[in-house]
Structure 1
């Protein structure tokens, strides 16, 4: 299996929304169109994972966090991190997180603790499964 991580593009909003609708999650096309506009403005980067050419998941890096204290300190936020259920536990989330870490390292002042970022995890559609931190991701490696 071949996993490819890339930035969100103009073809993705409909594909992503449809993929989540197929598993019963409401993720409107407009959400991803907004992500695309914000990415073009340099406010966020949306990373998309594909497995053998099929959409599998995504994660966002927000350069200006919604949390005031982090925004004031220039600490990025990793948010809206989703992998389709059928692709979970195959290393895709870890690959997305690894690439998000790389982006943060590339852009953040390396003289300070670049790993200080906010990671928000939800598994909103499954109240039984607790949120998990992905193996190997520690935010300070």
Structure 2
């Protein structure tokens, strides 16, 4: 298993939408995430296993949740790992990278 955690790219919209098609995650949601990432409003990480989408995680550097906003704490806003990749270290790897991104 070759696991990669990387920053979201605009061409990830369709693969993410396809991978999460059976979830309540419509295509438009990933387009919105792409727009917000391009605007610098959020950071998005994508996990792939053997070049296939396995999960993703969003970080909102400026949380809208009042206690986080007041303390300038980034927020993990959306964190999903496909069922077939759970218990394989994908979620842990996403969270570890999110920690590095949020602390920069």
Normalising to structure 1: TM-score of the pair?
Answer: 0.70
Aligned length: 104
Following TM superposition, the consecutive aligned residue runs of length 4 or more in structure 1 with deviations greater than 6 angstroms are none
Q: 2:58 aligns with which of 50, 57, 60?
A: 60
Runs of 5+ consecutive residues of structure 1 not aligned to the other structure: 107-141
Q: Distance in 1 between matches of 2:36 and 2:46?
A: 15
Q: Distance in 2 between matches of 1:79 and 1:65?
A: 9
The structure showing larger relative contact order (alpha-carbon pairs under 8 Å, at least 6 residues apart) is 2
Q: CA deviation at 1:3?
A: 0.5
The correspondence of residues 5-16 of structure 1 with structure 2, limited to 5 A, is 5-16=5-16
Corresponding position of 1:109: none
Matched, 1:75 2:65: no
Task: Give the alignment's Cα RMSD to 1 decimal.
Answer: 1.1
Q: Which has the larger radius of gyration?
A: 1
Q: Distance in 2 between matches of 1:63 and 1:105?
A: 10
Per-residue CA distance 1:70-107 (angstroms, 9 max, x = gap): 1122111012100000111100000000000001111x
Give the helix-richer structure, 1 or 2: 2
Give the strand-richer structure, 1 or 2: 2
Corresponding position of 1:87: 85
Q: Distance in 1 between matches of 2:83 and 2:94?
A: 15
Per-residue CA distance 1:9-48 (angstroms, 9 max, x = gap): 1211121111112xx2121111111111111121110100
Normalising to structure 2: TM-score of the pair?
Answer: 0.93
Matched, 1:35 2:17: no
| Other structure's SS at 2:10 match | coil
